[in-house]
């Protein structure tokens, strides 16, 4: 990586840490580690160092069991970025981060943002590599830990799942092959459904479900109960959802590994053989294949006819069913009588792997009786049961929509009550009276339940965000003009970071060393100072992980300055459009960035107290923090510039050519759907590495959107893709993002999805409709559109518009 930006960085990091370059075996605190040396945990259980997997000659930094005749690697740092020789060096820098470098190039690094004070790096006997402050007394307070970033191995004490406060998901990803530890497309996730469960996925498709945690074990894997070697728990609080296991016998050595073949193995070390033995492997049988028998089909591993419809159901396509084409599933013989719902009842099935819990609703505080009443009063509730089977059962979980992926166990499964019309039940009417009383009060709950089953994780996340922002109470600072002027060297050209539609941005350093970004608003705003301050105050309250934080403002000397946190990694355009730097953003990161932008936008459009339309969303307004997390900047600018309060017919124009939608250019009308258009452009730019504006293709005169559309309809979407990016994800995943991008840039605003749908689409939880033709498909010469836009909009806006159009970055 011959990138000057990083070279400077190394010059600073290398010098102080090179003074001690030897880590000997008795030491578990690291300063620097070169290839050939290792770091051993205190009790001698694990070892950190460089290794070459399988038949490969490439070098990776990893952790393995010490003193084991077979090298068994449990964690790899630079999974996707191997070193080609033995010149790799690991160091710790003063910000408390571990940096792996080879001949001056950055290979891998940690990205803790926590305050470091004499950071030390330690390999624990659990196999966890941690960075902590030397004086920190709480043993769990780490600046960073490898257990938060698992590879393919699940070790005792490791939490797999979610920290909802930070949005961190810890998941397993398989090695691509035994000699390539780079992340394959097979992963294991805790799904944040109302009734959470664990899935093994290949790409975005589930291949196997462990089923939900029933208080004792995973419903779909009844063999995995506490035993003499290990014991499981699933922790589900409002802040965290994760699974963890610990050793029952402290001499045992066991690990769980996810294999690229989509199998998950639990190995136990067999002392007398000096080898690993397989304790269990999942999936277990044919019936574990996700959704094998389709809707309302029950999979029976021991029967000759493996798939059978539930009682009261018949194959949707009897011919296909006979030919073992089960995927179409089963349909009811008689419809439910929802309008006369009190005559429906339930059939109890036993020993079942319960259906996929994606569309469920959970209430841990009510029992089976109330659960039944609730389900009965909600037409779309099709099944219910206890969520926890301990002590005779407690809690209530209800299913909505088709029931899929059930399996019949001989023992160890769970009850499930399935809704049936009275005619299929014979004489079972006894619930009638209780039901009628509650019916009127509960009817409305139905809609709420259904909705909540879909958006539950969004709400959770939102609450987490809300709590966070309530904690950090908002203290907007008012800065002296002179102090800001000094901090930016009197707004010197050397400090200028860029020029946006609303004025230039400067980098500054306050006397206390804090780095800031200062936006000096151009003086076109007619707003008074007090109104300006009120607006800024409102905007400062918008706080979200994916928005740049506004620290304060300055309003002296007829100047309006906004002071933001400084983002060292600049903006998205700085990376994706540069042939060298673009290689630093792999697919996984790119997808995370797209996701982050969508979350920021969701907050602006729907979740914040003010409903904010950004109006100037573009890659140069997406800044990147130390972690390369995206943060939207310049939000609320439209408010500050006091554009029309309602969304229609703005008489001043902001926005940047290439990102603004046709309806805005032509009619000047702006809505949330205009931001969606800009978002779509950003998605396609991230995937292609090309700018929409100024895109040129030798074969035709289309812009990037037109080009993407043409490739799409000609069924060769992958030709859009930036080939400088790694190949860590499969084409189907990339095509999904292109698909979503195209949905966002559709000509007609009504066709574009809203941001909450987009998030569901990004998470693979929503079917994607076919996109229609994008806006600006004509491939018209840019100046034509520009001229007509100016003509159409008129009204004292030329300055603003050309400012934006000529934006300098």
Binding interface with ligand NAG (CB under 6 A) = 9, 12-13, 84-85, 87, 93-95, 97, 99, 103, 105, 109, 175, 177-178, 216, 226, 231-233, 246, 259-261, 626
Q: Which is nearer to ligand NAG, 260 or 804 (CB)?
A: 260
φ, ψ dihedrals at 528, nearest 5°: -75, 165
Q: Which is nearer to ligand NAG, 246 or 492 (CB)?
A: 246
Least distance between ligand NAG and beta carbon 250 (Å): 11
Task: Respond yes or no: is residue 722 known to be catalytic.
Answer: no
User: Which of 288, 573, 616, 634 is labelled catalytic?
Assistant: 616
Least distance between ligand NAG and beta carbon 390 (Å): 7
Helix (H/G/I), strand (E/B), else coil: 717: helix
Q: Which is nearer to ligand NAG, 73 or 342 (CB)?
A: 73
Least distance between ligand NAG and beta carbon 620 (Å): 21
User: Nearest CA to 223 among 413, 491, 57, 436?
Assistant: 413
Least distance between ligand NAG and beta carbon 264 (Å): 10
Asked if residue 779 lies in contact with residue 700, where contact means CB atoms within 8 angstroms, the answer is yes
User: Nearest CA to 83 among 61, 98, 104?
Assistant: 61
Q: Which is nearer to ligand NAG, 93 or 495 (CB)?
A: 93
Q: Which residues does 373 contact at the CB level (< 8 Å), separation at least 6? A: 431, 434, 435, 438, 442
Least distance between ligand NAG and beta carbon 566 (Å): 12
Give the containing element (helix H, strand E) for 398.
strand 396-400
Question: CA torsion angle for 219, 220, 223, 229 (degrees, to 10)?
Answer: -70
Asked if residue 371 lies in contact with residue 363, where contact means CB atoms within 8 angstroms, the answer is yes
Least distance between ligand NAG and beta carbon 82 (Å): 10
Least distance between ligand NAG and beta carbon 395 (Å): 16
Q: Which residue lies nearest ligand NAG, judged by its C-beta?
A: 231
Residue by residue, DSSP assigns 775-790 as: TTTT---HHHHHHHHH
Least distance between ligand NAG and beta carbon 412 (Å): 14
Asked if residue 69 lies in contact with residue 273, where contact means CB atoms within 8 angstroms, the answer is no
407 burial type by CB count under 10 A (0-12 exposed, 13-18 middle, 19+ buried): buried
C-alpha to C-alpha distance for 89 and 102, rounded to whole angstroms: 6
Q: Which tokens go with 116?
A: 């470091």
User: Nearest CA to 389 among 410, 409, 416?
Assistant: 416
Least distance between ligand NAG and beta carbon 217 (Å): 9
Buried b (16+ CB within 10 A) or exposed e, 658-682: bbbbbbbbeebebbbbbbbbbbbbb
Report in angstroms the alpha-carbon separations of 730 from 404, 686, 796: 26, 16, 49
Q: Which residues does 402 contact at the CB level (< 8 Å), separation at least 6? A: 295, 296, 329, 382
C-alpha to C-alpha distance for 238 and 545, rounded to whole angstroms: 18
Q: Which is nearer to ligand NAG, 226 or 317 (CB)?
A: 226
Least distance between ligand NAG and beta carbon 660 (Å): 34
Q: Which is nearer to ligand NAG, 72 or 763 (CB)?
A: 72
Report in angstroms the alpha-carbon separations of 558 from 515, 520, 537: 24, 11, 18
**Maximum pairwise Cα distance, the chain:** 87
Angle at which helix 672-688 crosses helix 755-762, to 10 degrees, equals 30
φ, ψ dihedrals at 428, nearest 5°: -80, 90
Q: Which residues does 579 contact at the CB level (< 8 Å), separation at least 6? A: 724
Angle at which helix 755-762 crosses helix 587-602, to 10 degrees, equals 150
Question: Cis ω on the peptide bond leading into residue 283 (within 30° of 0)?
Answer: yes
Asked if residue 492 lies in contact with residue 486, where contact means CB atoms within 8 angstroms, the answer is no
What spatial distance separates the first Cα and last Cα of the chain, rounded to whole Å?
23
Q: Cite the active site residues.
A: 616
């Amino acid at each position: 990586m011959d990138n000057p930006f990083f070279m400077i960085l190394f010059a600073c990091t290398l010098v102080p840490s090179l003074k001690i370059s030897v880590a000997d075996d008795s030491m578990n605190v690291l300063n620097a580690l070169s290839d050939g040396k290792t770091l051993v945990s205190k009790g001698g259980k694990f070892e950190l160092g460089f290794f070459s997997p399988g038949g490969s000659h490439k070098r990776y930094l990893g952790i393995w069991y010490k003193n084991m005749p077979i090298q068994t690697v449990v964690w790899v740092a630079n999974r996707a970025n191997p070193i080609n020789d033995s010149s790799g060096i690991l160091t710790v820098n003063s910000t408390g981060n571990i940096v792996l470098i080879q001949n001056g190039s950055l290979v891998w690094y940690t990205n803790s943002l926590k305050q470091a004070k004499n950071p030390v790096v330690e390999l624990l006997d659990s196999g966890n590599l941690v960075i902590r402050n030397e004086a920190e007394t709480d043993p769990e307070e780490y600046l960073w830990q490898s257990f938060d970033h698992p590879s393919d191995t699940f070790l005792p004490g490791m939490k797999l799942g979610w920290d909802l406060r930070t949005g961190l998901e810890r998941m397993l990803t398989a090695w691509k092959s035994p000699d390539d530890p780079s992340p394959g497309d097979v992963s294991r996730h805790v799904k944040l459904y109302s009734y959470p469960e664990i899935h093994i996925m290949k790409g975005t498709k589930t291949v196997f479900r462990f089923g939900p945690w029933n208080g004792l074990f995973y419903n779909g894997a009844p063999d995995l109960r506490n035993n003499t070697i290990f014991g499981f728990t699933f922790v589900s609080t409002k802040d965290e959802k994760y699974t963890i296991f610990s050793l029952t016998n402290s001499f045992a050595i066991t690990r769980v590994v996810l294999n690229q073949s989509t199998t998950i193995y639990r190995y136990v070390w067999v002392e007398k053989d000096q080898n690993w033995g397989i304790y269990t492997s999942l999936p277990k049988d044919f019936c574990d294949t996700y959704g094998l028998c389709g809707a309302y089909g029950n999979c029976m591993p021991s029967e000759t006819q493996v798939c059978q419809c539930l009682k009261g159901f018949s194959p949707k396509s009897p011919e296909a069913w006979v030919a073992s084409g089960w995927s179409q599933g089963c349909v009811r013989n008689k419809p439910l009588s929802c309008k006369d719902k009190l005559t429906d009842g339930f059939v109890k099935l036993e020993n079942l792997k319960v259906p996929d819990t994606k569309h469920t609703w959970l209430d841990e505080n009510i029992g089976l009786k109330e659960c039944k009443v609730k389900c009965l009063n909600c037409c779309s509730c099709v099944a219910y049961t206890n969520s926890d089977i301990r002590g005779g059962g407690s809690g209530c979980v209800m299913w909505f929509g088709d029931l899929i992926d059930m399996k019949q166990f001989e023992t160890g499964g769970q009850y499930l009550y399935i809704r049936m019309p009275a005619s299929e039940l014979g004489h079972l009417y006894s619930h009638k009276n209780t039901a009628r009383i509650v019916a009127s009060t509960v009817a409305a709950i139905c809609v709420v339940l259904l909705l909540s089953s879909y958006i539950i994780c969004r709400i959770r996340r939102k609450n987490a965000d809300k709590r966070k922002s309530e904690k950090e109470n908002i203290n907007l600072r008012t800065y002296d003009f002179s102090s800001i002027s000094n901090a930016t060297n009197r707004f010197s050209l050397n400090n200028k970071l860029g020029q946006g539609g609303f004025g230039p941005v400067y980098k500054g350093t306050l006397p206390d060393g804090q780095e800031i970004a200062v936006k000096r608003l151009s003086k076109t705003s007619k707003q008074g100072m007090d109104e300006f301050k009120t607006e800024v105050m409102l905007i400062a309250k918008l706080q979200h992980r994916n928005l740049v934080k506004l620290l304060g403002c300055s309003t002296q000397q007829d100047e309006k300055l906004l002071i933001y946190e400084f983002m060292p990694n600049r903006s998205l355009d700085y990376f994706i459009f540069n042939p060298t730097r673009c290689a630093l953003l792999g697919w996984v990161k790119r997808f995370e960035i797209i996701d982050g932008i969508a979350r920021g936008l969701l907050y602006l459009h729907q979740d914040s107290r003010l409903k904010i339309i950004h109006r100037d969303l573009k890659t140069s307004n997406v800044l990147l923090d130390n972690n390369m997390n995206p943060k939207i900047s310049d939000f609320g600018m439209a408010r500050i510039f006091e554009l029309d309060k309602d969304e229609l017919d703005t008489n001043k124009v902001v926005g940047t050519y290439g990102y603004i939608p046709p309806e805005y250019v032509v009619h000047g009308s702006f809505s949330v759907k205009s931001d969606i258009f800009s978002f779509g452009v950003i998605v396609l730019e991230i995937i292609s590495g090309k700018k929409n504006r100024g895109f040129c293709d030798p074969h035709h005169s289309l812009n990037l959107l037109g080009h993407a559309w043409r490739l799409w309809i000609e069924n060769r979407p992958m030709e859009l893709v930036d080939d400088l990016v790694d190949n860590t994800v499969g084409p189907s995943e990339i095509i999904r993002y292109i698909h979503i991008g195209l949905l966002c840039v559709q000509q007609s605003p009504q066709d574009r999805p809203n941001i909450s749908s987009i998030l569901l689409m990004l998470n693979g939880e929503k079917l994607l409709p076919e996109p229609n033709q994008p806006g600006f498909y004509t491939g018209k010469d840019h100046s034509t559109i520009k001229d007509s836009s100016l003509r159409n909009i008129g009204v004292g806006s030329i300055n603003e518009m050309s400012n934006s159009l000529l934006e300098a970055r």
